[in-house]
A and B are shown apart, each in its own frame.
Chain A
Amino acid sequence: AQSVTQLDSQVPVFEEAPVELRCNYSSSVSVYLFWYVQYPNQGLQLLLKYLSGSTLVKGINGFEAEFNKSQTSFHLRKPSVHISDTAEYFCAVSDPGNNRKLIWGLGTSLAVNP
């Protein structure tokens, strides 16, 4: 069965430092990949998605992610984080048997400290 692994449950980082949130998925077929962000007491907001084409995807708020098919990874990066980036980040992949259904990771809690 399809699965998504977010390798870090919590990532503490200082303001203006770079950050990478790691995501690996298990699938031997083509999938669509997503990163969502959830701010405290709010719903999920799409950061970026990979459907096809260039493996480097740019999203909102200065985030980007790189799709690596050979390593089945889709890591999220930002070169310089802000306090306001403190949130829960979720990686999701479309179910290859059902493109409407998203399979979600457990989330990574990013804590940006001054």
Chain B
Amino acid sequence: DTGVSQNPRHKITKRGQNVTFRCDPISEHNRLYWYRQTLGQGPEFLTYFQNEAQLEKSRLLSDRFSAERPKGSFSTLEIQRTEQGDSAMYLCASSSGTAIPFVQETQYFGPGTRLLVL
């Protein structure tokens, strides 16, 4: 168990550029979550995958944001035409949920990708 990994750890970009982040969950975890955390705030839920299916997307996620998990393993989060307000820490988490009526399972977090939009 190597834990959840995220790449890159840091990204500096200019306003208007596109950026893509990658998350590798704990192997065999079927649930994957993306959160955004700004300074002095708790994480905010962005989106959630069960295997390769994106089951929920927050209203915080504008059309410029897209997430994929094509083979039900790693996931990517892309931000198009970045804005300064997108500057934040982007956190990925995974968990080993099952189809049984839901019991909240532990979400394991990666170290995050810190984005700075100039």
Contact = CB atoms under 8 A, between A and B. Distances in A.
For chain B, the bracket of interface size reads 20 to 34
A contact patch SS:
strand
B contact patch SS:
loop
A8 to B, nearest CB: 14
Contacts, number: 53
A104 interface: yes
16 contacts: A36-B109, A42-B111, A49-B106, A51-B103, A90-B43, A99-B102, A99-B104, A100-B48, A101-B48, A101-B56, A104-B42, A106-B40, A106-B42, A107-B40, A107-B41, A107-B42
Interface of B: 4, 31, 33, 40-45, 48, 56, 91, 93, 97, 102-104, 106-112
Interface of A: 4, 32, 36, 41-46, 49, 51, 90, 92, 94, 98-102, 104-107
